Structure 1
Amino acid sequence: MNLIIDRNGKIIKIEQEDLTAELLSGLRRRKSQKRLSGVRVISIANDQQLTSRQKNLVVRFRLDNLVKVSLQSNSVALVLPKIVEGKLAGIEERNLTIDQAVEFDQSTVVAQLEEDLTEVNNYRVKKDSQRAILIGKDEKELEELNGLATTAGAEVVAKVLQKQERKNPTYYIGTGKLEELKEAVFKQQSDLVIFDDELTPAQHSNLEEELAVQVTDRTELILDIFAQHAHTKEGKIQVELAQLDYLLPRLTGRGKQLSRLGGGIGTRGPGETKLEIDRRKIRKRIHRLKEQLAEVRQNRAVQRQGRRNPLITLVGYTNAGKSTLMNLLTAADVKVEDELFATLDSTLRQAKLPIGRQVIFSDTVGFIKKLPHQLVAAFQATLEEVQQADLLLHVVDSSQAQLEERMATVHQVLEELGVLNKEIITVFNKADLVADDYVELLRQNYPNSVAISALTGQGKDGLLDKISNIIARDMVIVDLELPYEAGKWIDQLHQAGRVLEEEYVANKIKITANISNRLARRLKDYQV
């Protein structure tokens, strides 16, 4: 027998059936995340043992407590909600005698628990490390999701495989897998579940209701990482725009969960203090952000008009070593971390090739499988560096088991940007971590490629030579005779090209130089 009782001692419901979620689903109870439900359950049966699913009802329905009375012994099992840092984080179990249960001060305990809950919203509490459960289709995908979750600051405590191809429109996963996930949440005392796919607004809301913990999908997780790593004004604008585009269709039904006053995955970013605004205000903010990005694109276009040197852009899968290679080639001092999306804001640095030509290297944001379309749209201003490049360096982590799959992902993004017709050098990075015969096989399979270790510098000269050979196609050797009054060109010849011979005679300077066709056209009046 199960008795459901309110705080005034009134019996709301009596059921003879087993204690299940269905027994509590239709009850009217407090919805505030800062209060317990105002309902407690007394379950009377021959056995004393509560199942893990029954215990989890305390968290799922925010019960004041759950009491199991055994008819076979003089004991009572008491299950209370456990509050940690203002969050409903699990359960606390006590075994009492009948006399102790009678003396139990229900009102005092509940009052203390609710006082602990009043700090912040239940699901949006700042915590050093959230305990996350990952769910995806296979081990390979979960391995990458594990890296994303760790980068975002979560502690991965369990992984659940969902192999069913057909997605459940209500919960994304089937009801059987949902029960398995509930069990894992309870056993691991998890406060976060991350799906390796994008959830619909309805699926997201339904899952949080069923699991009683925060639910995040792959898109929101990546957006959270971008929010952490955006430091420039441009980067913050782009991330906020992507977050608002993601949030807009998910406003309905999320209610107070949008009060992101705490912390944790999915709660960071430039707009974290203003996410309780309605659709009209969000659309207005999106419009303003797009205007600001348009200004950024216009400023970039003006800057490009003044460029005289070729642009070489590094592209590749996230964590392939682009920033390390950038530092090797230009001494740019770009942040290097062994984590996904460590570099978000693009960096441009000048360098001089062995042929004497000045070039500009550009480091871009890394790509990833299932890259959120909100990010591709928002980062269009940054990705224009890829579209404007004279040469692309596709940096590949040669030690990765999914090398070809990751290369295909990068090619897909490059195709979407319309740049696959550009000259591309494939740079197999981290060659020091794999066998020499494997490196040689990669170079045979991809003819226009080099092997390098950006960390140790191995292969740097070969890469620079290959770049030089391509850039040299746009260079020409010219013989010049400059009058002394035109000597201002000499510095530019040394900086932008390679001076082969230089001789000062009576009234002029004779120079033979290897320079760009563009510069040669500007000096045509001095050519001999």
Structure 2
Amino acid sequence: MLNQQLLVQFEESVPVQLNLVIDRNGKVVKIEQGNLTANLLEGIRRRRSKKRLSGLRVITISDNQQLTLAQKNLALRFRLDNLVKVSLKSDSALLVIPKVAEGRLVSLEEINLTIKQAIEFDQLAVVAQLEERLSEVDNYRVKEDRERAILVGKAEEELEELNGLATTAGVEVVARSLQKQERKNPAYYIGTGKLEELKGLVFSQQSNLVIFDDELTPAQHSNLEEVLAVQVVDRTELILDIFAQHAHTKEGKIQVELAQLEYLLPRLTGKGKELSRLGGGIGTRGPGETKLEIDRRKIRKRIHSLKEQLTEVRQNRAVQRQGRKNPLITLVGYTNAGKSTLMNLLTAADVKVEDELFATLDSTLRQAKLPIGRQVIFSDTVGFIKKLPHQLVAAFQATLEEVQQADLLLHVVDSSQAQLKERMATVHQVLEELGVLNKEIVTIFNKSDLVADDYLELLRQDYPSSVAISALTGEGKDRLLERISEVIARDMVTVDLEFPYEAGKWIDQLHQNGQVLEENYVANKIKVTANISKRLAQRLQDYQV
């Protein structure tokens, strides 16, 4: 591991610290005098796969054995095979090697050696063991320590939402950086001055992750990771990761994997020929394949297979919809607006409710009865968000068909949000992409218990047909049901019917699917006046009087 002759020459002739970077072939690729800093390793070609170490080791020789915390962290930050500090005066060495747990680098192990032991240390065997442990864990099942992230964006309000996304993904946000330059740098997205500032912030905060509030090009992605020497994630990848964490059904997992693969395909060059960053964390979770080094041909083949599976899902949904007799009412809105809470209020469903973004991923269907006696089906869908990745919109087409097939859309809005109008505009934009803006839409200002009454009054003036409600407390529920009933009633008619006793089975259907206004049993017949759907009235034409 160490060269004895080099050590003797250094002790006799060089009075300052010397740092050497050596590859696995034993070749010295860089020598530098002075304190050991990150500058020694920047720009040196190294392996970037997260199931491999960098292929580099650092030997620093001086008259003492001490290493600062920042110097030790270089071993983790640059994924060094190992770091050795040799003290010639005491004939001792400090060996720092990475520690692996659950498929990722988690900490460092320090070993005190004599120089003779350091020379005889079989570092290649240790590296092989570490890399074997790195690659043996399914990447998307890894439970890793909380990542420390720096957020980069153009405005404070955008960073606030990005902070919410990062927190939902299980990341600890340690700093924020505003990029005021309007023109994007084609190489790094941010300007060179901001890049230097970000490098310093990464080091001072001991961050291992930088998240950009925009989609990066493959080249920008690769260049930023090269310069910052930490993992870089853009907004799209962060949202995909959250979806991966919340995908529980087979359909949801298929859709997430498809979106992830379509995002990764053009970025294979930037990341090396590997499917995803290894070792867990943002960008590695999801129901994708656990074999990570696959080429473009295999990815395209997998994408084709997933699309075929989703086509089958859509066909099955179409068959199920043919059997529906009741109107479909679909809840849409910005993520975390309270759709699931409202769904539970209206249908007594048990939909998961969390104060986090994209808590509900898989669509939920529940049946309920309106005050007018009509049975309807409520559908809760995935929340929308600004700059929603187009890969997700495409992949979740099967789920979003519930929006396209709906008879009525309930646009749930968080009335306590400062960016209320901007978020409403985002939802309308997605609805326009889905081609459903021509449908009847009822705007619901949720969380009314969190805002002042005069503010709600202003909202009602701006949106006259809207309804204010608190899905949490239930206040406004009756007004909302009346509003929904008004819309659904447009498809209902009042009819007079006469049934022979042998056709009495229809009476139950009238009670279940409409509102019976009058019911009389006379000789040989049953006279009924009922408010029912036009579709059901058509089926009962023979009994109308």
Tell me the TM-score range normalised by the shorter chain: 0.7 to 0.9
The Cα shift of 1:67 comes to 6.4
For 1:164, which of 171, 181, 184 is the aligned residue?
181
Q: Which moved more, 1:178-187 or 1:456-465?
A: 178-187
Conserved? CA contact 1:478–1:527, under 8 Å = yes
- 1:489 is aligned with what amino acid? W
Distance across 2 between alignment mates of 1:109 and 1:272:
34
For 1:490, which of 495, 499, 507 is the aligned residue?
507
- Provide closer, same or farther for how the CA distance between residues 477 and 34 of structure 1 changes in structure 2, counting only shifts above 3 A: closer
Corresponding residue for residue 454 of structure 2: 437
Distance across 2 between alignment mates of 1:168 and 1:54:
33
Distance across 2 between alignment mates of 1:77 and 1:187:
27
Matched, 1:463 2:477: no
Distance across 2 between alignment mates of 1:193 and 1:206:
13
The Cα shift of 1:395 comes to 0.2
For 1:400, which of 387, 393, 417 is the aligned residue?
417
The Cα shift of 1:25 comes to 5.2
The Cα shift of 1:92 comes to 9.7
- Provide closer, same or farther for how the CA distance between residues 15 and 381 of structure 1 changes in structure 2, counting only shifts above 3 A: closer
The Cα shift of 1:495 comes to 0.8
Distance across 2 between alignment mates of 1:254 and 1:31:
8
Conserved? CA contact 1:240–1:270, under 8 Å = yes
For 2:344, which of 314, 317, 327 is the aligned residue?
327
Distance across 2 between alignment mates of 1:527 and 1:398:
47
Corresponding residue for residue 369 of structure 2: 352
Corresponding residue for residue 20 of structure 2: 4
Matched, 1:120 2:137: no
For 2:159, which of 135, 142, 153 is the aligned residue?
142
Q: Which moved more, 1:368-377 or 1:210-219?
A: 210-219
The Cα shift of 1:50 comes to 9.0
Corresponding residue for residue 308 of structure 1: 325
Distance across 2 between alignment mates of 1:256 and 1:319:
37
The Cα shift of 1:34 comes to 4.0
- Provide closer, same or farther for how the CA distance between residues 80 and 257 of structure 1 changes in structure 2, counting only shifts above 3 A: farther
For 1:217, which of 217, 231, 234 is the aligned residue?
234
- 1:513 is aligned with what amino acid? A
Conserved? CA contact 1:56–1:186, under 8 Å = no
- 2:325 is aligned with what amino acid? R
Corresponding residue for residue 469 of structure 2: 452
Matched, 1:341 2:355: no
For 1:384, which of 401, 404, 413 is the aligned residue?
401
Corresponding residue for residue 498 of structure 2: 481
- Provide closer, same or farther for how the CA distance between residues 106 and 405 of structure 1 changes in structure 2, counting only shifts above 3 A: farther
Corresponding residue for residue 422 of structure 1: 439
Conserved? CA contact 1:88–1:117, under 8 Å = no
Q: What secondary structure is seen at the aligned counterpart in 2 of 1:295? A: helix
Corresponding residue for residue 316 of structure 2: 299
Q: Which moved more, 1:311-320 or 1:475-484?
A: 475-484
Distance across 2 between alignment mates of 1:185 and 1:425:
46
The Cα shift of 1:202 comes to 1.7
The Cα shift of 1:39 comes to 4.3
- Provide closer, same or farther for how the CA distance between residues 35 and 231 of structure 1 changes in structure 2, counting only shifts above 3 A: closer
For residues 36-63 of structure 1, give each alpha carbon's deviation from its aligned partner in whole angstroms, at most 9, with x where no partner exists.
6544365889xx9999799859844838
Distance across 1 between alignment mates of 2:537 and 2:48:
75
Distance across 2 between alignment mates of 1:368 and 1:330:
25
Conserved? CA contact 1:260–1:272, under 8 Å = no
The Cα shift of 1:228 comes to 1.4
Corresponding residue for residue 264 of structure 1: 281
Q: What secondary structure is seen at the aligned counterpart in 2 of 1:252? A: helix
For residues 120-148 of structure 1, give each alpha carbon's deviation from its aligned partner in whole angstroms, at most 9, with x where no partner exists.
16997751322222211122111111111
Conserved? CA contact 1:21–1:57, under 8 Å = no
- 2:147 is aligned with what amino acid? Q
Corresponding residue for residue 58 of structure 2: 40
Distance across 2 between alignment mates of 1:268 and 1:58:
21
Corresponding residue for residue 80 of structure 2: 62
- Provide closer, same or farther for how the CA distance between residues 106 and 449 of structure 1 changes in structure 2, counting only shifts above 3 A: farther
The Cα shift of 1:499 comes to 0.3
Conserved? CA contact 1:259–1:275, under 8 Å = yes
- Provide closer, same or farther for how the CA distance between residues 24 and 462 of structure 1 changes in structure 2, counting only shifts above 3 A: closer
Distance across 1 between alignment mates of 2:275 and 2:150:
22
The Cα shift of 1:190 comes to 2.1
- Provide closer, same or farther for how the CA distance between residues 212 and 119 of structure 1 changes in structure 2, counting only shifts above 3 A: farther
Distance across 2 between alignment mates of 1:51 and 1:230:
39
Distance across 1 between alignment mates of 2:331 and 2:147:
34
Q: Which moved more, 1:256-265 or 1:141-150?
A: 256-265
- 1:120 is aligned with what amino acid? L
Distance across 1 between alignment mates of 2:52 and 2:321:
54
For 1:373, which of 385, 390, 405 is the aligned residue?
390
TM-score (norm 2): 0.84
- Provide closer, same or farther for how the CA distance between residues 263 and 20 of structure 1 changes in structure 2, counting only shifts above 3 A: closer
Corresponding residue for residue 277 of structure 1: 294
Distance across 2 between alignment mates of 1:260 and 1:61:
13
Distance across 2 between alignment mates of 1:485 and 1:196:
67
For residues 62-115 of structure 1, give each alpha carbon's deviation from its aligned partner in whole angstroms, at most 9, with x where no partner exists.
38448699xxxx9x9999576464755688999x9xxx9989947659689856
Cα RMSD (Å): 3.7
Conserved? CA contact 1:309–1:360, under 8 Å = yes
- 1:4 is aligned with what amino acid? L
Distance across 2 between alignment mates of 1:232 and 1:323:
17
Distance across 1 between alignment mates of 2:44 and 2:147:
30
- Provide closer, same or farther for how the CA distance between residues 26 and 265 of structure 1 changes in structure 2, counting only shifts above 3 A: closer
- Provide closer, same or farther for how the CA distance between residues 166 and 89 of structure 1 changes in structure 2, counting only shifts above 3 A: farther
- 1:306 is aligned with what amino acid? G
Matched, 1:192 2:192: no
Corresponding residue for residue 234 of structure 1: 251
For 2:334, which of 317, 332, 357 is the aligned residue?
317
Q: What secondary structure is seen at the aligned counterpart in 1 of 2:189? A: coil
Distance across 1 between alignment mates of 2:21 and 2:308:
56
The Cα shift of 1:458 comes to 0.4
- 1:246 is aligned with what amino acid? Y
For 1:413, which of 430, 439, 444 is the aligned residue?
430
Matched, 1:516 2:533: yes
Corresponding residue for residue 199 of structure 2: 182
For residues 467-497 of structure 1, give each alpha carbon's deviation from its aligned partner in whole angstroms, at most 9, with x where no partner exists.
1111111111111111112212111111111
Distance across 2 between alignment mates of 1:63 and 1:155:
27
Q: What secondary structure is seen at the aligned counterpart in 2 of 1:119? A: helix
Q: Which moved more, 1:31-40 or 1:454-463?
A: 31-40
Q: Which moved more, 1:110-119 or 1:251-260?
A: 110-119
- 1:286 is aligned with what amino acid? I
Distance across 2 between alignment mates of 1:31 and 1:516:
63
- 2:20 is aligned with what amino acid? I
- Provide closer, same or farther for how the CA distance between residues 299 and 93 of structure 1 changes in structure 2, counting only shifts above 3 A: closer
The Cα shift of 1:184 comes to 2.2
Distance across 2 between alignment mates of 1:9 and 1:377:
50
Structure 2 residues without counterparts, runs of 5 or longer: 1-15
Q: What secondary structure is seen at the aligned counterpart in 1 of 2:196? A: helix
The Cα shift of 1:522 comes to 1.6
Conserved? CA contact 1:37–1:64, under 8 Å = no
For 1:507, which of 514, 521, 524 is the aligned residue?
524
Length, aligned pairs only? 520
